[in-house]
Amino acid sequence: MALLIGMFATPEPLAARDEPLGMASSPHFLYSAVETESASIGARDNPVVVEAYIDGVGRVYDYNIVSGPSDACTRSQLENVLLFSVFEPARSFGQPVRGLAVLAFTGVSVRA
């Protein structure tokens, strides 16, 4: 029986169907559905730097203010912008995964 299987079985070609290890990517900002007009996040001399945690769908699920003002007004404006922002998710071996995006807001006008 083993002889018959060995005679007619064809080996799988050596073409791997995965991506090289260097093909991991980080999230990329695509767009935000927030209109920019009245209030501003960060100032020219005091920008707000944020770590945004992006899920596998491309939405922000958490954030952390790294530097800049962190008062209630700034947090509210950031949450408004991040809630309506869409990212291309990070990828590992071609599959979407969670990732980290670092964003800097310098005098960005945001409608509150």
**Spans of all domains in the chain:** 38-105
pLDDT mean over 38-52: 74
CA dihedral 90, 96, 98, 99 (to 10 degrees): 0
Give the model confidence (pLDDT) of 5-15 as tens digits. 555 655 555 55
Could you tell me the pLDDT band of residue 59, with boundaries at 50, 70 and 90?
very high
Name which of 41-45, 71-75, 85-89, 93-97 the model is least confident about: 41-45
Q: What is the mean pLDDT of residues 18-47?
A: 70
Task: Give me the phi and psi of 18, to 5 degrees please.
Answer: -110, 175
pLDDT at 53 over 90: yes
pLDDT of residue 34: 72
- pLDDT digits over 15-30, tens only? 555 555 557 888 999 9
CB 22 within 8 A of CB 94: no
